[in-house]
Amino acid sequence: MLNTLAAAALAMSTIIIPPGGAPGDTPPPDHITIDVVTINGSGCRAGTAAVAVSPDNKAFTVTYSEFMAQVGPQALPTDFRKNCQLNLRVNVPSGFTYGISSTDYRGFAHLERGATALEKANYYFQGMSQTEYKQHNYRGPFSDDWQATDTTDVAAIVYHPCGEKRNFNINTELRVMAGTSDPKKVTSFIAMDSTDGSIETTYHFAWKVCPPKP
């Protein structure tokens, strides 16, 4: 749940909650767009990630060539956890605020019996300490593609503080734990192939009107 962030943002920005409290009732006058500003992390060093943005700037796909965490005889002690952080600029029509709604993660995992892996995404705005996360766990034996989707319902959505421009950060990470498997003999790994983010004013985004500036 992203309730904490939502509460914090609400407290800071004095967003007016419309009577009836049904976010999404008021569509924005124009569409919103997103730009990927930076991609960086131990799992996506410079030159290893590619970004494809849809023509309407409402969705994007990031693909990775070496976003992989592993344990095993050939792995370094620091290889069991890798991260990749996306910094997103969300362009919002004036007078409206927004929340992020849906992200899809896809990849492959090979986990020996006894090993476990997780995909975790931390979500936060620049300048806000509050961090929310969603986590998906996988358990060996497993050797197949995996897919995880993080969605938030309307009541738990993250609202952008009115009147300030803050980029949104999504820090994704992959971890593998050897568990009861023997990392001196067998390798377990989890890789992320792609991250897809999208915003839809119809159902992926909720809107609230900011108060007029004094």
And the tokens for 136? 């998906």
Q: How far apart are CA 162 and CA 17, in angstroms?
A: 13
Q: E-assigned strands of the chain?
A: 33-40, 49-53, 59-64, 68-71, 81-91, 102-111, 116-125, 132-139, 142-151, 168-177, 188-198
Given the complex with another protein, which of 3 and 91 has the nearer CB atom?
A: 91
Contact between 209 and 18 under an 8 Å Cβ cutoff? The reply is yes
Within positions 1 to 40, which residues make up the interface with another protein, using CB under 8 A?
Answer: 12, 37-40
201 binds another protein (CB under 8 A): no
Cis peptide bond prior to 23, omega within 30° of 0 = no
In the bound complex, what is the minimum distance in angstroms from residue 197's beta carbon to another protein? 15
Given the complex with another protein, which of 153 and 164 has the nearer CB atom?
A: 164
164 binds another protein (CB under 8 A): yes
Q: How far apart are CA 23 and CA 103, in angstroms?
A: 20
Given the complex with another protein, which of 131 and 151 has the nearer CB atom?
A: 131
103 binds another protein (CB under 8 A): no
Q: Judged by CB under 8 A, which of 103, 152, 169, 181 binds another protein?
A: 169
Binding stretches for another protein (CB under 8 A): 12, 37-42, 44-46, 76-78, 80-81, 83, 85, 87, 89, 120, 122, 124, 126-129, 131, 133, 164-167, 169, 171, 173
